[in-house]
């Protein structure tokens, strides 16, 4: 979880890095560390299979970082632009970031849903139960990756 917290901070600061101060970037990263923990719990409770925490780190904190531009941006930053809500810019920049985050999310979901549906219809999403029990190293590679059986008595 510690590594995911650090990764979440890096992901969250990617979108706003040219538009926020150093202090704001630290705050954004710190908030991302808390968000990733809550997101892991959220996905676990809903039984969404995310063993590496990719959704929690990349999806949730990518969205947080994109929205954070509308909160923490400063017009005198290297990226220029408008001030965010916390720097007197009003709701305009935050609204723009929220709308764009939702639009990109809807587009990405739509494309992924179509691709996922095609893969499911043409190839299937799961391997045969026998291959899964025997191990994919046999069915995919024709050999054992780990010849020691740790489940044997």
Entry pTM: 0.80
Tens of pLDDT, residue by residue over 66-122, are 999 999 999 999 988 899 999 999 999 999 999 999 999 999 999 999 999 999 999
Give, for 30, the enclosing helix (H) or strand (E).
helix 22-45
Surface-to-core class of residue 41, CB atoms within 10 Å of its CB (0-12 exposed, 13-18 middle, 19+ buried): exposed
């Amino acid at each position: 979880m510690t590594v995911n917290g650090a990764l979440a901070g890096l992901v969250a600061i990617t979108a706003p890095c040219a538009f926020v101060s150093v202090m704001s970037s630290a705050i954004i990263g710190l908030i991302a560390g808390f968000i990733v923990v809550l997101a892991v719990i959220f996905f676990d409770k809903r039984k969404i299979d995310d063993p590496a925490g990719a959704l929690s780190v990349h999806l949730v904190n990518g969205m947080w970082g994109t929205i954070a531009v509308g909160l923490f941006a400063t017009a005198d930053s290297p990226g220029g632009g408008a001030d965010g809500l916390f720097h007197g810019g009003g709701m305009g920049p935050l609204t723009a970031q929220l709308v764009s985050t939702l639009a990109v999310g809807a587009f990405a979901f739509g494309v992924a849903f179509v691709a996922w549906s095609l893969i499911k219809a043409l190839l299937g999403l799961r391997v045969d139960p026998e291959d899964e029990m025997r191990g994919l190293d046999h069915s995919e590679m024709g050999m054992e990756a780990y010849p020691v059986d740790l489940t044997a008595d």
